[in-house]
Structure 1
Amino acid sequence: MTDVPLRLLRWAVHVTVCGLLAIAVLGVLHEGRLGPAAGGVLLGLLYAAGPALQRRPVTGQVWLGLVTAGWVVLAVAAPPFVWVALPLLFAYLHVLPLWGAMFCVAVLTSAAVIAAAWHAGELTTPLLVGPGVAAVVVTLLALACKALRAEE
Structure 2
Amino acid sequence: MMMDIPLRLLRWAVHVTAFGVLTIAVVTALREDRVAEAAGGLLLALLYAAGPAIEPRPLPARVWLGLVTAGWLTLAVTAPPFVWLAFPLLFAYLHVLPLWGAMFGVSALTSTAIIAGAWHAGGLTLPLLLGPGLAAVVTTLLALACKALRAEMEQR
Q: Shorter-chain TM-score category?
A: over 0.9
CA offset at residue 104 of structure 1?
0.4
C-alpha separation in 2, matches of 1:81 and 1:31 = 13
Matches within 5 A, 1:1-150: 1-150=2-151
C-alpha separation in 1, matches of 2:100 and 2:34 = 38
C-alpha separation in 2, matches of 1:35 and 1:128 = 28
C-alpha separation in 1, matches of 2:97 and 2:80 = 27
Residue of structure 2 in register with 1:151 after alignment? 152
- The structure 1 segments of at least 4 consecutive aligned residues displaced by more than 4 Å after TM superposition are none
CA shift digits 1:16-42 (9 cap, x unpaired): 000000000000000111100000000
Which residue identity lines up with residue 82 of structure 1 in the other structure? V
C-alpha separation in 2, matches of 1:85 and 1:134 = 9
TM-score normalised by structure 2 residue count? 0.97
Q: Which runs of 5+ in 1 are unaligned?
A: none
CA offset at residue 54 of structure 1?
1.6
* C-alpha RMSD of the superposition: 0.5
TM-score normalised by structure 1 residue count? 0.99
Q: Which runs of 5+ in 2 are unaligned?
A: none
CA offset at residue 55 of structure 1?
1.1
Give the length in aligned residue pairs.
152
Which residue identity lines up with residue 35 of structure 1 in the other structure? A
Which residue identity lines up with residue 141 of structure 2 in the other structure? L
Which residue identity lines up with residue 82 of structure 2 in the other structure? F
